[in-house]
Every structure is written in structure tokens, then in C-alpha cells.
Amino acid sequence: MPHDRTGTKAAGTRQWVMALVAEYEQRLTRYAQRLTGDLHSARDVVQHAFLRLCDESPTTIERPGAWLYTVCHRRAIDVRRQAIRVLPLDTGDATSNGHASQPVYSRERDPRDAAELKDAGRALQRAVDLLPEAQRQVVNLWAEGFDYRDISQITGRGEAYIRVLMHRALTELRRHPIAQQLISDTALRNPTPRSPTPSP
């Protein structure tokens, strides 16, 4: 309803939304792309989330970061469900970064890939991509910087279940040679457990 968007309230909302766009747009796109496997859908998902955000206000949303991820998560799952019968299309120029032209979460194991992936982070992500869907989601959200409570809200799963999923995921990851190497590389650093991480 355009007429009630005028005035200071609308200006405030706009400022708030634009600040959140600046902060989250790219990360959300990347996250949605992981879920949908394609950048176009990811952008649609993100746009949907921000347009829904426009109908809210700072008073109705406590933690906009988690809220945005929640909306994106659900939307992306919906999008993927709808596309489930669909043959993958080569997205070619569809992605801005070259390596993501295929679904981000390809589950094929290819030892050559591991050898080629020199970048440690990418290698680790590759290992994450081999995890079962539920665990992968949880790990990805953890990597985005969320704590268990937020992950629970975003995925719509109970916190206890998140705890179990995260445990299983890390146990599985630890078996991966790349992860083992990375862990021993960083073993020299201070390994004490972190204090609870603030949500982004």
C-alpha cells in the first residue's frame, strides 16, 4: 500500500532494509545458492526474502539476520522441491565465479578434484558437500556464523536435533583426509573451546 510508505516511518524502514541488504545480500545469495544449486534461483530467493522484509519493521523482527536466513532457507527448500523432477541444465554463464557452474553440492567423489583443490577452505567445503543433506545444512549455517539456537530457528528443527546433527557432521568430517590434515595443521594454534558465539 504505497500511501502508508510515505513519511518518516517508511524512510526509517527503507534505511533499515537497505542496511540489511548491504550487510546480508551476498552472503544470503551464496547460502541460497548452496541450497538451490543455481544462482538464478538463489537471487530470486534472496529478493523474495528482502521484499518480505519490507513488510516488517525493526520492531517486529528481533534478529533480522536469522530472520532473513530463515525466510531464505524455507524458500530455497521450496524452490528445490519444485525443481526436483527437472533435468539439470548447464548454467554456463549463470554464475559469477567459475567453479560454481554445477550444483554446489555435487556428491560425486572424485579423487582428482581433491588433489586439484589446493585452497584449504575449498577443500573443506568439498568435504562438507559430501555430507548428508540435513547435516550439510547445519554445518553450512554454522559456517555462516550462527549458533545452535539460530540454526534451529532457520531450519525449523529442534535444538536437540541440531546438536545431534552437528555432532554427526563433525564426526564424519573428521574422518575426511583433508579435514584431518587441516586439523593437524591448526593443532598448533590454541584449541580451547570458544565461548558462545554471538549471532551475526
Partner 1 sequence: MNKAQFTAYALGQLSDAQRSKVEEHMDREETKQITQDAARLGALLRDARAAEPLPERAAALYAALDEHFAPPAPRKPWIHRFALPVALAASLLLNVVAMSYWLSLQHTHVAENKALLPPGEGGRRPDEGAAGATLLATHPHPSASLTPSPEGRGVDAAAGLPGSAGKFEMNPYAADKLVRDGGAIASAKPVETQALNAPALQVWNEGTIFESYRSALGIQGNETLNRNGSGTLSNPVLASSPLPSALWQTDDVQYFPPGQQFRLSREAAGKLVRSEGGDSRRGGIAVVAGTTMPAADSSPPVKQGLNTLTISGGNVYSGGITFSAPDIALDRLGRKPKVENFGYEAPLTQAPFNQPVVELRKANAKTLAAQGAGTAKQFPSLQTRTAGVAGEPQLTPAVSTPTAEGQMGRRQNTGGVFMDAFGAIVAPGIQTAVPPAAKPAIHPAPQPQPQLNTEAYDPIVENPFRRVADEPLSTFSIDVDTASYSNVRRFLMAGQLPPPGAVRIEELVNYFTYDYPPPSDGRPFSVAADVAACPWNEKHRLVRIGLKGREIDRDVRPASNLVFLVDVSGSMQPENKLPLVKKSLRMLVEQLTERDHVAMVVYAGSSGLVLPSTTGSERATLLGAIDCLESGGSTNGAAGLQLAYNTARDGFIKGGTNRVILCTDGDFNVGITSQDELVRLIETEAKSGVFLSALGFGMGNYKDSTLEKLADKGNGNYAYIDTEREARKVFVEQLSGTLVTIAKDVKIQIEFNPARVGAFRLLGYENRVLAHEDFNNDKKDAGEIGAGHSVTALYELVPIGDEAGLPGVDPLKYQPRPKAPAGGDDNHELLTVKLRYKEPEAEQSQLLEKPLVDDAKPLAQAPADFKFATAVTAFGMILRGSEHRGTATLATVAEWANNGKGADLQGYRAEFLDLVARAARLKKD
Site for partner 1 in 52-111 (CB under 8 A): 52, 54-55, 79, 82-83, 85-97
| Distance in angstroms between the alpha carbons of the first and the last residue of the chain | 31
Residues 160-179 close enough to bind partner 1 by CB under 8 A? 163-164, 166-168, 170-171, 173-174, 179
Cβ-Cβ contacts under 8 Å for 10 (sequence gap 6 or more):
4
**Rounded distance, CA 136 to CA 84, Å?**
18
| 33 part of the interface to partner 1, by CB under 8 A | yes
Which position among 3, 109, 112, 118 is part of the footprint of partner 1 (CB under 8 A)? 3
**Rounded distance, CA 173 to CA 183, Å?**
11
**Rounded distance, CA 114 to CA 32, Å?**
24
| 35 part of the interface to partner 1, by CB under 8 A | no
Cell of 19: 542496511
Q: How many helices (H) and strands (E) does the chain have?
A: 9, 0
Contacts 24+ apart (CB under 8 A), 21-29: 21/50, 23/65, 24/65, 24/68, 25/50, 27/144, 28/68, 28/69, 28/72
For the bound state, the minimum distance from the C-beta of residue 152 to partner 1, rounded and expressed in Å, comes to 8
Q: Which stretch binds partner 1 (CB under 8 A): 8-16, 61-69, 109-117, 129-137?
A: 8-16
Residue nearer to partner 1 on the CB measure, 88 or 107: 88
Q: Which stretch binds partner 1 (CB under 8 A): 61-69, 105-113, 129-137, 181-189?
A: 181-189
Residue nearer to partner 1 on the CB measure, 11 or 109: 11
Binding map of partner 1 across residues 113-152, x = CB under 8 A, - = no contact: -------xxx-xx--x----------x--xxxx-xx----
